Amino acid sequence: MHYPIGLLFDLLASSSALPWNITVHFKSFPEKDLLHCPSKDAIEAHFMSCMKEADALKHKSQVINEMQKKDHKQLWMGLQNDRFDQFWAINRKLMEYPAEENGFRYIPFRIYQTTTERPFIQKLFRPVAADGQLHTLGDLLKEVCPSAVAPEDGEKKNQVMIHGIEPMLETPLQWLSEHLSYPDNFLHISIIPQPTD
Amino acid sequence: MPLPARPLARAPGGEARLSRQPRSQRSRLRLARRRPRLPLAATMPNSVLWAVDLFGRVYTLSTAGQYWELCKDAQLEFKRVSATTQCCWGIACDNQVYVYVCASDVPIRRREEAYENQRWNPVGGFCEKLLLSDRWLWSDVSGLQHRPLDGVALPSPHWEWESDWYVDENFGGEPTEKGGWTYAIDFPATYTRDKKWNSCVRRRKWIRYRRYKSRDIWAKIPSKDDPKELPDPFNDLSVGGWEIMEEPVGRLSVWAVSLQGRVWYREDVSHSNPEGSSWSLLDTPGEVVQISCGPHDLLWATLWEGQALVREGINRSNPKGSSWSIVEPPGSENGIMHVSVGVSVVWAVTKDRKVWFRRGVNSHNPCGTSWIEMVGEMTMVNVGMNDQVWGIGCEDRAVYFRQGVTPSELSGKTWKAIVVARECDRSHSGSSSSLLSAGCFFGDEVRGSGESAPSDTDASSEIERPGPGQPLPAEPLDDSRNPTGSLASGPGAGRTTEDTVEDACPAKSGREARLDTHPGQASTLAELPWTNIDLKEPKKVPSHSAASFPETNSLSSLGILPLGLEEPYGADDHPLWAWVSAGGCAVEACAVPRWFTVQAGLSPSVQTLSLSITPAQTAAWRKQIFQQLTERTKRELENFRHYEQAVEQSVWVKTGALQWWCDWKPHKWLDVRVALEQFTGHDGARDSILFIYYVVHEEKKYIHMFLNEVTALVPVLNETKHSFALYTPERTRQRWPVRLAAATEQDMNDWLALLSLSCCESRKVQGRPSPQAIWSVTCKGDIFVSEPSLDLEAHEHPLPCDQMFWRQMGGHLRVVEANSRGVVWGLGYDHTAWVYTGGYGGGCFQGLASSTSNIYTQSDVKCVHIYENQRWNPVTGYTSRGLPTDRYMWSDASGLQECTKAGTKPPSLQWAWVSDWFVDFSVPGGTDQEGWQYASDFPASYHGSKTMKDFVRRRCWARKCKLVTSGPWLEVAPIALRDVSIIPESPSAEGSGHSIALWAISDKGDVLCRLGVSELNPAGSSWLHVGTDQPFMSISIGACYQVWAVARDGSAFYRGSVYPSQPAGDCWYHIPPPPRQRLKQVSVGQTSVYALDDNGNLWYRQGITPSYPQGSSWEHVSNNVCRVSVGPLDQVWVIASKVQGSHSLSRGTVCHRTGVQPHEPKGQGWDYGIGGGWDHISVRANATRGPRSSSQEQEPSAPPEAYGPICC
C-alpha cells in the first residue's frame, strides 16, 4: 500500500536479514489493492494531501494554507531531491504551535498492525490531557489500540516501532510528533508481534 | 601646466567623533561584538510611533521593538505630540512648543557666509577703503546688507559654532589664488578668479558652519516674536507637509492652534533649520480647537462649533494654502471634536466618540464627499505614514491600530490593540534601556537560528549559549556537536542518516519549536474584531462626559488625576494613553510589527512549557530513543557503507511551452517547445542540454545549448513579457543572447531557477560567493556574481571576460561594492544602504537554490517619469494640441514613445504603484512654479522660465513604484546613501587586525566614514561625519588609504592623512577636473586613480607618487564609459555604454582593460564581456593574480580580444 518504505520495512521485514531484498514488479499492477499513481504529479499530489491532512489535525490547516505555492513546492522538491535543509526550512513551520497552547490540536498519527485486516487506526487524539498533563505514547495506545499494550503483569507480546526503534511508552506524544514524524507529518506507528527468539 | 593642488583651508569641526549616541544603539553595539553572526540592522526599517500617556509622559514604540520606551528626555510632561520621521513637535504642559530632533550620525550643519569687499586704489593697491557709493566692507552676497563677521549670531541657544570663520578658496570648482579673492571691474559684476588689468574691486567669501546641538532632547522653540503678535498659549499642533516639495531638504509644515482658537503657521522649518524662524497668523472663519496636517496637501481643523475646516490651495508655491471651506459634521447633534488627515484620507471623531471616515478625499477635492461611520469608539485617531490609522480607545485607553488599511481599502478592516508593555513594566533596574535591547535581540536570535539550525554548526553553537529570556535546555547527554546529527530528529529522515546520533540537536530543535511562537496563531486572541473585545472599565480613569471637549481631554485627565495615583498603574495595569502620533511610523499593510501579541520568551506559559521537560524527566525516554537510533544506524547502515550509491543514470527532462525571439529577421516571438535534459554521469556530476524546438516554413527544427557553456541567465522583465536571456561566450560576442519568454511570472521563475541550478551544478558553483567575487548590477537592479578564475588578471593570456560565468543573487540594488575580506555593501534605487549577510539565492530562486537562512525581505522604490508636452499657439496660448509633426503630447523623455498617465505601467510586474502622479520639479534646467520647462522647439534644451522665443514647453511627471523581493541583504539604517566604497585589500596584506575602511556619501551629499566594519560585523557600528564645503557625489578609497571624492561641482578632492589610526583623515585637497569637464565618479585601486566625467570620458590621474599622492594631471584613456571600477591589482574594469557585436549592439557592457602593467597602468585595449543592460561592476574584491607564465620571453602579441579603443 502507499506506505513509506521505512514503515513497510518495520511492518513487514524488521526481522529479516539485511540487506532487504525487494522484488520489483513491472507488470500486473495490483489495481485492486493499490492506488495507481500514473505520474510524478500524482505522487506529489498524494504526498501534499497527506501533509494537508496532518496540518488540518495540528493547526486546522492554518499553517499550510498560509504558505505560498512555492513553499509547498519546496517541501516536495526537498523530499524528492533528498535535500533535508530545503525540506526542513518549510516543514519547521508545520512543527510549531502557538505559545499559549501546549502542543498541536491533535496529533496526526496512524497505527498499523500486521495482525488485523484493518489497514490502520487513525483517531483524533490530543497531545495534552484536560488536566494539562502531556499525553504519552502509552496513553495513546491504551486509548486507541489497547490490544497492543501488554497488561501490567503480562508478557510483552508486541513491539511498538517507529523508525525502526521502540520508543518508551512514557515518551510524550507531542515530542514524538515533532521529532519522529515522517515527511508527510504523520507519526506512523507499527505494532508488530514480538519476535519469539 | 596644471596647478599643483594645495590643501584647502581646513574644513574644521566635521571630523569630530560624535560622542553622543542613542543609548539603545550603544547597547546594541555591545551585543554585536559578542555575537557577530547576525547582522544588526533590523529587517524592518526602524521607525517609531510616539504616544503620550495620561500623565504626560512621552513614549516611543519602534516598529522593530516590543516595548514602549520612555522618551530619552523625560524632564517635561506633554499634552500633544506630532511626529515625523526626523523629529517630533510637542506642546508641553507649560503650553510652550518644543521640538525633539532625533540624533543621527550626520550633524545638522548650516553655513553662514559673509563677503569681504575691497577696492583697488593707486596708492595702497587693494584696500579696505571703499567709495561712498560702494557696498559695505563686510556684506552678504548681494552687497546690500551689512554683515560683519562678529555680528553674525547664532539663531538660538540650540546651535553652536563648529569653528571660526575661514576663507573659501574654491570658486566654482576651481581653486583660486591665494587668499580666495575674486576680481571684477566694479560692484556688482561678474567675478573671475584671475586678476586682470582692469580689476578694480575684489571680494572673498568667508564661511563658518554652525551646528544644531539639541538633539535627542526637547528643545524649546523660542518665542521672541513681536510682542503684539505673540501667540497666546498653544493648545494643539500638527506637523506634516513633507511631501509638498523636496527643497529645502526636510521641509515641514508646522501648524498650531492657540487657546483663543487662532491658527498659526511656523515659517521655514526644514532639516537644516529644525526650529523654523517665526510664527505667522492665519485668518480663520471661526474658533479652531484642533488641527491636523497630512504629509501632502491636506489640512483639516475642527471648529468649536463642531464643523471641520478644510484648507484649500496648498501647493508648492503656497504651502500655507489660500482659503478655508467648511465641512458639516456627520450629524447635527454631535459635532466633530477631532480630525486627522493623511495623504488622501480623513478620519474624524465626533463628540459622542464615534469614528468617521471621510469618503472621496484627494488633492483635487480636499473636502471629500460624505461621512461613513466606522465601528469603535475612540477619544482620538491619528493617521500616520501610508495612510495607516491609529487610535486611542475610549474606554480602555489603549492604542489601537487599524488593521487592513491598503491603498484599495483605505478604511481598513478592524481595530487591533497594541499589547506591548512599557519597558519600565519589565524591569525596574537602572539599566532598563540595555535590557530592552537585549530582550528584543534575543527574541530575534531564537527566531533567526531556528531557521538555520538543522544544518548550521555555528548557529547551533550560538544557540547553546543561554541568554535572558531563554530558559536553559535539557542537559544534553552527548557534548559532540554533529550538524548532520539533527537529521535524525527530523521527521522521516532517520532512515537516511549515516552519522552518529546524538542528543544536542534534537534537544535544541525541540526547544526552538517551543520558543517559536507562530505569530499568526498567537495573535488570534488579539485579532478579534473590536466589537468582540470585552472592554473592561478601567478602575481609575475619570469617565469623560460627553460634554468634555477634545482639547481639554488630556488636560482634564491630567488635572483630575492626582499624581499619587501613578503607582497603582505602573506595574500591573496596561498603560493608559492620552495621545498618539504616527507621523513617523512606517507600517505597511503587508508587514505589521509584532506589537499585537505577547511575545515568546516572556509569556509564562512558554517558560513553563520549556521547563516541563526537566532533565530528570527526559533522561529515560530520550536517552533510550537516541541509544536505539544509534544502534539502528549501526545495524542498518554502517555495514553497508561499501554499497554503491544507487545514482540515477537516466535522463531527467523538463519540458514546456515558451516563446523564443527568433534569430532571423524580421525578429519576432515564436512559439516553441523547450526541453531541458539533465544527465547524471557516473561520477555524480550533472550535465544538461536545453533544446528549443521550433517550426519554420512547416519544417521542424531545433537549436540546443549546453548549460555548462551558458555564462549568464538574465531575467528581462518588462511590462508585457516575462522573458529571460541566456548567454554563452559566443552569444556574448554576437551581442545576441537566446531570449525566451514564459506565459506567467511563476513559469518564468521556475525555468530560471531550474536553469540556473543546472548551470551552477555543471560548473560546481554553489553556496556563498567567495570573498574575491566580482559583483555587478544590471539596469533592472538584478545582482550578478562571478567567481574570478586565477588567470582572469594574468599578465599574459588572461581569461577572456566573455567566458566569465555570472550567477544571480536575490535582491534589488543600484550599486554594489565588495572587498576581499567578504564585506559587501549595496545601495538601492531609493538610496537605502544594504549589507550582505552571507546567504545566497532569494528572489526568484527561493526554495530551490537558496540558503535557508540569511535571506530577508528587501524592498526598493523608484520613480517612473513621463513628460507632458505643449505647444504655444497665438490664439489659445499653450495647449496640448501640437503640430502634426510634433511628438506625442504625453511621451517619454525622448518624445518617441507615447506615455500617458493612464497607460503607463510600472516597469515590470514586480513593481506596484505606491503613489499617484506628481509633477517632478527637480529636473535639470529648472522649472517654473507649475513645473514647466520651456524651449524654442522639440527637442531642444529646456530652461525654467518662459521667454519670447519659446514655443514649446514640457513638464515631467513622476510616479513612485515599489518592488518587494528577498535576498541576502540587511538594511543599514537609517542614513540613505548615494555612493559607497570599501578599501580593497590584497590577501597578503595583514589586514585582519584593524577594521575595514568604508567611506560613503549620503543622499544629501555628506561624506561619511563607517567605523567598526569587520568580517564579523560587516555592517559596522556608526558613521563618522567628515565635513565638506559642498555636497559630494562619488567617493573611492584605495588600498593605501587614498581617499578620492567627486563634489557636486564636478571637481575632485583628495583627503589627506587617512590612516587606520585616523580613519577620517585631516583635510581635503582640491583637484580641478579635466578642462571643460565635470567629473562624476572616481575609483582608486592599489595606486591607480581613474575618474569618469559627465560625457563618458575615462581619465587616468598621472604623476601620483607616494610623496605627492594628488598627482599632477588627468590623462584621457577612453570615451564611451559609464562606470569604472579599479581593483587592488590596479586592474581596470568599466561598463561601456555601447558595444557593437556581430549581430546586434548592446548597451551597458562589462569591459576589462587589457595590457595593464606596472609600467603601463593605463593599459592598451578593451576586452568585452557580458553586456546588454549592465549598470555597475565592482572588481575591488579580486586580488588574485594568476601565476606568471614561464614563457616570459615570448613576444606578447596583441591578444586577439583586444580591439582598439571603444568607438561607437
Q: Which of A75, A77, A100 to mutate to test the interface with B (most CBs of B within 10 A)?
A: A100
Whole-number Å distance between alpha carbons of B620 and B642:
34
Rounded average pLDDT over B468-492? 40
A-chain residues within 8 Å CB-CB of B598? Answer: 99
CA distance A122 to chain B (A): 18
Q: Let me know the angle formed at the C-alpha of B1036 by B835 and B800, rounded to the nearest 5 degrees.
A: 85
User: Quick one: pLDDT band at residue B1186, thresholds 50, 70, 90?
Assistant: low
C-alpha cell at B157: 541657544
The verdict on a CB contact (< 8 Å) between A82 and B496 is yes
pLDDT for B469 equals 40
Rounded average pLDDT over B124-139? 77
C-alpha cell at B470: 531563554
A165 → closest Cβ in B510, B612, B628: B628
ipTM: 0.88
B625 → closest Cβ in A82, A84, A167: A167
CA distance A163 to chain B (A): 7
A-chain residues within 8 Å CB-CB of B490? Answer: 84, 87-88, 91, 179
B621 → closest Cβ in A84, A88, A168: A168
Whole-number Å distance between alpha carbons of B596 and B759:
45
DSSP B316: T
Q: What is the mean pLDDT of chain A?
A: 84
B-chain residues within 8 Å CB-CB of A87? Answer: 490
B522 → closest Cβ in A100, A171, A185: A100
Q: Which residue has the higher pLDDT, B847 or B182?
A: B182
Answer yes or no: is pLDDT of B1150 > 50: yes
User: Quick one: pLDDT band at residue B1034, thresholds 50, 70, 90?
Assistant: very high
Residue B468 · residue B442 · CB < 8 Å: yes
- Find, among B1020, B1027, B1062, the residue nearest to B1047 by Cα: B1027
C-alpha cell at B1023: 558613521
Of chain B, the percentage scoring pLDDT greater than 70 comes to 76
Sign of CA dihedral A35, A37, A43, A48: negative
C-alpha cell at B1029: 564645503
CA distance A107 to chain B (A): 14
B-chain residues within 8 Å CB-CB of A170? Answer: 620-621
DSSP B1173: S
Answer yes or no: is pLDDT of B915 > 90: no
CA distance B489 to chain A (A): 5
DSSP string, B517-552: --HHHHTTTTTS-GGGS-PPPPSSPPPPPTTS-HHH
* Number of residues assigned to chain A: 197
The verdict on a CB contact (< 8 Å) between B491 and A182 is yes
CA distance A94 to chain B (A): 10
pLDDT for B851 equals 64
C-alpha cell at B721: 513579457
Whole-number Å distance between alpha carbons of B1057 and B1066:
6
What is the pairing mode between strands B421-422 and B67-70? parallel
* Number of residues assigned to chain B: 1208
**pLDDT tens across B1073-1111, in order?**
998 899 999 999 988 999 999 999 999 999 998 888 889
Answer yes or no: is pLDDT of B611 > 50: no
Q: Which residue has the higher pLDDT, B217 or B196?
A: B217
Sign of CA dihedral B462, B465, B467, B470: positive
B-chain residues within 8 Å CB-CB of A18? Answer: 635-636, 639-640
**pLDDT tens across B368-377, in order?**
999 988 888 8
Q: Which residues contact B1112 (CB under 8 A, 6 or more apart)?
A: B2, B4, B1102, B1103
Q: Which residue has the higher pLDDT, B187 or B37?
A: B187
Map residue B847 onto helix, strand or coil.
coil
The verdict on a CB contact (< 8 Å) between B636 and A18 is yes
Answer yes or no: is pLDDT of A171 > 80: yes
B490 → closest Cβ in A6, A84, A165: A84
Q: All domains of chain A, ordered by start, with CATH?
A: 38-95 (1.10.246.190), 101-196 (3.10.20.90)
Helices (H), A61-136: 62-66, 69-80, 84-94
Answer yes or no: is pLDDT of B200 > 70: yes
Whole-number Å distance between alpha carbons of B997 and B1055:
14
Q: Which of A62, A165, A189 to mutate to test the interface with B (most CBs of B within 10 A)?
A: A165
Q: Which of A73, A79, A92, A184 to mutate to test the interface with B (most CBs of B within 10 A)?
A: A92
The verdict on a CB contact (< 8 Å) between A18 and B493 is no
Q: In Å, how far are B308, B324, B330, B356, B931 from B365, measured between CA atoms?
A: 15, 13, 18, 18, 21
User: In which residue are the cell numbers 520489483 written?
Assistant: A24
Whole-number Å distance between alpha carbons of A126 and A145:
15
- Find, among B16, B7, B9, B8, the residue nearest to B161 by Cα: B16
Q: In what order do the strands lie in the sheet with B234-240?
A: B234-240, B252-258, B263-269, B279-282
**Strand residue runs (E) in chain A:** 109-113, 158-161, 187-193
Answer yes or no: is pLDDT of B742 > 80: yes
The verdict on a CB contact (< 8 Å) between B510 and A89 is no
Q: Let me know the angle formed at the C-alpha of B33 by B29 and B36, rounded to the nearest 5 degrees.
A: 110
pLDDT for B784 equals 93
Q: Which residue has the higher pLDDT, B14 or A17?
A: A17
Chains A and B: how many Cβ contacts under 8 Å? Answer: 133
Q: How far from chain centre, in Å, is Cα B1180?
A: 23
Q: Which residue has the higher pLDDT, B1067 or B1199?
A: B1067
**pLDDT tens across A98-123, in order?**
766 778 999 999 998 877 777 788 88
CA distance B492 to chain A (A): 4
User: Quick one: pLDDT band at residue B992, thresholds 50, 70, 90?
Assistant: low
DSSP A99: T
Q: Which residue has the higher pLDDT, B175 or B393?
A: B393
B-chain residues within 8 Å CB-CB of A179? Answer: 489-491, 506, 509-510
C-alpha cell at B1148: 551597458
pLDDT for B90 equals 93
The verdict on a CB contact (< 8 Å) between B628 and A134 is no
pLDDT for A49 equals 92
Rounded average pLDDT over B1147-1166? 88
pLDDT for B1189 equals 47
Q: Which residues contact B990 (CB under 8 A, 6 or more apart)?
A: none
Residue B694 · residue B672 · CB < 8 Å: yes
CA atoms within 13 A on the CB side of B1158: 0
**pLDDT tens across B286-332, in order?**
999 999 999 988 999 999 999 999 999 998 888 999 999 999 999 88
Nearest residue of chain A to residue B620 (CA atoms): A168
User: Quick one: pLDDT band at residue B426, thresholds 50, 70, 90?
Assistant: low
Q: In Å, how far are B230, B258, B263, B999 from B282, measured between CA atoms?
A: 13, 12, 6, 47
Whole-number Å distance between alpha carbons of B223 and B912:
46
Q: In what order do the strands lie in the sheet with B669-680?
A: B699-706, B686-696, B669-680, B651-661, B738-742, B722-727, B712-717
Sign of CA dihedral B391, B392, B393, B394: negative
Nearest residue of chain A to residue B506 (CA atoms): A179
Map residue B149 onto helix, strand or coil.
helix
The verdict on a CB contact (< 8 Å) between B621 and A171 is yes
DSSP B227: G
The verdict on a CB contact (< 8 Å) between A84 and B493 is yes
The verdict on a CB contact (< 8 Å) between A100 and B605 is yes
pLDDT for B850 equals 62
Q: Per mean pLDDT, which range of A49-63, B753-767, B1159-1173 is the poorest?
A: B753-767
pLDDT for B897 equals 82
C-alpha cell at A116: 488485523
User: Quick one: pLDDT band at residue B619, thresholds 50, 70, 90?
Assistant: low
CA atoms within 13 A on the CB side of B1121: 28
User: Quick one: pLDDT band at residue B1206, thresholds 50, 70, 90?
Assistant: very low
Q: What is the largest CA-CA distance in chain A?
A: 55
The verdict on a CB contact (< 8 Å) between B490 and A179 is yes
CA distance B500 to chain A (A): 15
pLDDT for B621 equals 81
CA dihedral B17, B22, B23, B25 (to 10 degrees): -90
B847 → closest Cβ in A70, A97, A101: A70
- Find, among B751, B766, B534, B557, the residue nearest to B655 by Cα: B751
Map residue B770 onto helix, strand or coil.
coil
Q: What is the mean pLDDT of chain B?
A: 77
Whole-number Å distance between alpha carbons of B348 and B370:
12
The verdict on a CB contact (< 8 Å) between A97 and B506 is no
C-alpha cell at B156: 538660538
Q: In Å, how far are B84, B493, B505, B1080 from B477, measured between CA atoms?
A: 54, 21, 11, 63
CA distance B625 to chain A (A): 6
B450 → closest Cβ in A87, A92, A180: A92
CA distance B571 to chain A (A): 22
B-chain residues within 8 Å CB-CB of A89? Answer: 451, 852
Radius of gyration (C-alpha) of chain A in whole angstroms: 18
Whole-number Å distance between alpha carbons of B235 and B238:
11
B558-582 exposure pattern, b = at least 16 Cβ within 10 A, e = fewer: beebeeeeeeebeeeebbbbbbbbb
Which element (helix H / strand E) includes B689? strand B686-696
If one counts every other C-beta atom within 10 angstroms of the C-beta of residue B973, the result is 17
B492 → closest Cβ in A62, A168, A183: A183
**pLDDT tens across B532-569, in order?**
333 333 333 333 433 333 333 333 333 333 333 333 34
Q: Which of B447, B528, B599, B848 to mutate to test the interface with A (most CBs of A within 10 A)?
A: B848
